[in-house]
Homo-oligomer: A and B are copies of this chain.
């Protein structure tokens, strides 16, 4: 179809983001809007009003996912656009929120310009993407994709022992299972990058090709705890010096192969100044877009860890906690994002997502892709989270163009 002549109304979009940023706000400029909390309910109530004001048909499914449908000229499978409105306990005002509110802005702009589309457009707010209150994250999109069943989801508890199912009912957002979206032509999600790559390369738009595969491991190094004073270096079985050597090898091997590896969590015992550490437990997070390379580096690292333990005559236990394959998004949509961004005159880069998103599960249900906008200093899940106005506006315009194209697309995407 022809290119659009119209663009999104950035001032309106910014006002909408600012209103959202008042609900659950914490200093400075942060948000605490945990899934199914009172703040989440208030945000949902307001979002429902906004959808109705935009002429959308609102419905809620049994996971609390909120949909707003804009009819098309036909009843063909819709283009679904959105993300999530919940946040981390000390989160920012952008994260998934930008994906929901830019989707709303796309609809509003189509309305402003009396533009009809061939396919219906639906916007969506997924429940509990963050997993900060109820684990695991990406819960309700996972429910849609059949990764988690409803019994599992409803039984998840927060730290106070409150269940997801009870809290969903309490805030009045337990809808019907027949309201779940079924047949989807394409799913699109705009999101902040949560990393420094776009800012670093001075690029405005990321055309996200997929989500990196991830391994989570837990490594337990067991030596012997002794008094620091009287124990000569050569008679020690120090679990921390061993773990430090392992962390060094992890960094070296991963950097050499361009794989991302992070030891983010570490604890030692007895953790006393004058005691040689007897045990260290640490996490290992390994990510890469190429599953084969990720496995190769993972194997190299675990072999090196075992060798260090053997050399030091201490024991090591390596546990696999999680192994998630790489998600490959729909190349046609990724190309369309790239093409539209170029057309609009923005710098654009094809890139993988390092973090997980609802799109990971939606990719199982429909051709899917994501649009990234830059995160200042790469920060996210923090009150310092920031995406500049210009980047928001550019991202929203790309989303507008891509939704419009897809909603008028006849052909198969797969």
Contacts and interface: CB of A to CB of B under 8 A. Distances in A.
Nearest to A355: B229
Contact of A265 (B200, B272, B355): B272
B230 A195 contact: yes
A274 B274 CA distance: 31
Contacts of A353: 229-230
B197 A232 contact: yes
A233 B248 contact: no
A273 B353 CA distance: 17
Interface in A182-240: 193-197, 200, 212, 214, 216, 226-235, 238, 240
A258 B233 CA distance: 7
A127 interface: no
Given A195-B227, A196-B226, A227-B378, A233 B251 contact: yes
**What copy number does this chain have within its complex?**
2
Interface string A237-281: 010110111011001001100101111111110111111110000
A44 interface: no
B248 A229 contact: no
How big is chain A's contact interface, by range?
35 or more
Given A196-B235, A285-B273, A230 B264 contact: no
Given A195-B229, A229-B353, A264-B271, 19 more contacts: A193-B230, A194-B229, A195-B232, A196-B232, A228-B285, A229-B260, A229-B285, A230-B355, A233-B251, A233-B255, A233-B260, A233-B261, A235-B378, A240-B264, A240-B266, A245-B248, A262-B273, A263-B277, A266-B268
Interface of A: 193-197, 200, 212, 214, 216, 226-235, 238, 240-241, 243-245, 247-248, 251, 254-255, 258, 260-268, 270-277, 283, 285, 287, 353-356, 378-381
